[in-house]
């Protein structure tokens, strides 16, 4: 059954790849319409999931819950994806060879994408819209808590494909949430080109260890702000505050603030009072606590921590090299920011920090497909192969070589 599902996805992917930009766009617009039309069915299905999930933690129930406004937001997001520029067929680059051949790299779809996710039912529609936009077919494997909701949304999406004259199997929800079916999918490397798991670290490791198909991983975000000696103190306070307080539970929130020794006595008391007023617990190293004795003491474990909460580690460092060294040792390749007015320092931080997003005098919270101008986001990759950082439509494509000649043969 799983093998057949993957095969149908492969076949559907060929139609989506070739149907043309106008048809893909029309299909995604129709998905938005059908989600609106299926609203009551989707909400009824969602109530089943919510009843079954009464024992789940509140935060999880909230992620699971749909209402009229959230269904409308799903449709709006689909329309935004439909309106993005079509990436397929674009000539990325082209050059001439001495023998007269014209060589170019042309953008093409990846083929079939397997999306594995947990409790947010809206991912069903978001992922399908982005994958179709990039000319792919998608296999959706949602979490068991949201199974009824995701099924109802997938029905709406498939109805839209059929109405537009595209194969419904370009969007398939795996009809079971047992792990054996997922494990079998992860061996279908003939028919699936890429796996994107979104969820907790346990899920991602499970997928990465079992998959024969390439996996794009997003483990966690241990993001840093480095407040340089030459920082504008007010700007540094704003960027730290925004990074920690605006939404502490997300992956681009700040977890550790590194403070240059030369500015520590000026900066730390103000940081402590600004973040303290917002209810943030600071955990400092010895040097930080020498300046602000009321801070809790940080342990080695704190430097590795993705708190996802109103807690922030603080460390005093001797210089830029020490800051970069700390990020290399404890960071997660997600997002780091520097605050400095010194152009040399800014340039070195920008060039030497290897994380997927590096911000100079800007908040780490900008590490997001929408904020960076990608139009939408299917995930954030913290591994370097294929895509690194926020992934939009383009990251769901690849390029092929096109060689145009008039009879050339190789000597």
- Other beta carbons within 10 angstroms of residue 294's beta carbon come to 10
Q: How far is the CB of 404 from a copy of itself (least distance, A)?
A: 5
- Residue 376 near residue 78, CB atoms below 8 Å: no
User: What is d(CA 116, CA 134) in angstroms, rounded to the nearest whole number?
Assistant: 18
Q: How far is the CB of 178 from a copy of itself (least distance, A)?
A: 23
Instruction: Out of 44, 273, 294, 408, point to the residue binding a copy of itself (CB under 8 A).
Output: 408
The answer to whether residue 117 forms part of the interface with a copy of itself (CB under 8 A) is no
User: What is d(CA 9, CA 170) in angstroms, rounded to the nearest whole number?
Assistant: 6
Q: Which residues pair with 137 in a beta bridge?
A: 112
Residues 197-226 binding a copy of itself (CB under 8 A) are: 208-209, 212, 214-215
Minimum CB distance to a copy of itself smaller for 230 or for 360:
360
Nearest to 188 by CA among 348, 3, 352: 3
Q: How far is the CB of 5 from a copy of itself (least distance, A)?
A: 19
Binding mask 2-31 for a copy of itself (x = CB under 8 A): ------------x--xx-------------
Residues 324-383 binding a copy of itself (CB under 8 A) are: 328, 350-352, 354-363, 365-367, 371-373, 383
- Other beta carbons within 10 angstroms of residue 101's beta carbon come to 13
Q: How far is the CB of 271 from a copy of itself (least distance, A)?
A: 15
Distance of CA 236 to the CA centre of its chain: 26
Tokens of 380: 């954030």
Cα 236 to Cα 263, 268, 388, distances in angstroms: 11, 11, 26
Q: Which segment (36-44, 221-229, 256-264, 399-407) binds a copy of itself by CB under 8 A? A: 399-407
Minimum CB distance to a copy of itself smaller for 147 or for 349:
349
Q: How far is the CB of 57 from a copy of itself (least distance, A)?
A: 26
Q: How far is the CB of 145 from a copy of itself (least distance, A)?
A: 28
Minimum CB distance to a copy of itself smaller for 41 or for 398:
398
Tokens of 152: 């109802």
Angle between helices 122-133 and 68-82 (to 10 degrees): 10
Binding mask 136-175 for a copy of itself (x = CB under 8 A): ----------------------------------------
Sequential DSSP letters for 63-115? HH---HHHHHHHHHHHHHHHTSPP-TT-EEEEEE-TTS-EEEEEEEE--EEEE
Residues 236-295 binding a copy of itself (CB under 8 A) are: 238-239, 241-242, 246
End-to-end CA distance of the chain: give it in Å, rounded. Answer: 50
- Residue 338 near residue 243, CB atoms below 8 Å: no
Instruction: Out of 200, 249, 269, 405, point to the residue binding a copy of itself (CB under 8 A).
Output: 405
- Other beta carbons within 10 angstroms of residue 83's beta carbon come to 12
Contact footprint for a copy of itself (CB under 8 A):
14, 17-18, 89, 95, 97, 101, 103, 106, 108, 110-111, 189, 193-194, 208-209, 212, 214-215, 232, 235, 238-239, 241-242, 246, 328, 350-352, 354-363, 365-367, 371-373, 383-386, 388-390, 398-410
């Amino acid at each position: 059954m799983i093998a057949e599902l993957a095969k149908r996805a492969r076949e559907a992917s060929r139609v989506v790849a070739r149907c043309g930009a106008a048809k893909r766009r029309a299909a995604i617009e129709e998905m938005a319409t059908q989600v609106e039309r299926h609203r009551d069915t989707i909400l009824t299905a969602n109530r089943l999931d919510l009843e079954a999930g009464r024992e789940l933690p509140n935060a999880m129930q909230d992620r699971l819950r749909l209402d009229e406004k959230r269904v409308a937001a799903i449709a709006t997001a689909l329309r935004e994806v439909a309106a993005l520029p079509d990436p397929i067929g674009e000539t990325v680059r082209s050059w001439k060879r001495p023998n007269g051949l014209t060589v170019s790299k042309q953008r093409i779809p990846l083929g079939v994408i397997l999306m594995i996710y947990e409790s947010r039912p809206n991912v069903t529609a978001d992922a399908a819209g982005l994958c179709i936009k990039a000319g792919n077919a998608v296999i959706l494997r949602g979490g068991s808590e949201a199974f009824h909701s995701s099924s109802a949304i997938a029905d709406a999406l498939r109805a839209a494909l059929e109405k537009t004259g595209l194969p419904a199997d370009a969007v398939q929800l795996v009809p079971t949430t047992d792990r054996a079916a997922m494990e079998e999918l992860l061996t279908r490397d003939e028919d699936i080109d890429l796996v994107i798991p979104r969820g907790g670290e346990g899920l991602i490791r499970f997928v990465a260890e079992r998959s024969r198909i390439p996996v794009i991983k997003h483990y966690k975000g241990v993001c840093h702000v480095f407040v340089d000696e030459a920082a504008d103190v007010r700007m540094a306070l704003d960027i730290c505050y925004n990074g920690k307080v605006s939404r502490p539970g997300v992956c681009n929130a700040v977890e550790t603030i590194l403070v240059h020794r030369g500015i520590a006595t000026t900066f730390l008391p103000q940081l402590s009072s600004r973040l303290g007023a917002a209810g943030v617990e600071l955990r400092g190293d010895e040097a930080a606590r020498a300046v602000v004795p009321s801070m809790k003491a940080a342990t080695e474990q704190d430097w590795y921590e993705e708190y996802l909460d109103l807690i922030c580690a603080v460390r005093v460092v001797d210089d830029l090299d020490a800051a970069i060294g700390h990020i290399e040792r404890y960071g997660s390749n997600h997002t780091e920011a520097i605050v400095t007015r010194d152009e040399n320092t800014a340039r070195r931080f920008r060039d030497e920090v290897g994380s997927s997003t590096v911000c100079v005098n800007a908040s780490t919270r900008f590490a997001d497909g929408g904020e960076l101008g990608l139009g939408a986001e299917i995930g954030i990759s913290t591994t370097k192969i294929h895509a690194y950082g926020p992934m939009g439509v383009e990251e769901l494509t690849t390029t092929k070589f096109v060689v145009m000649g008039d009879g050339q043969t190789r000597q």
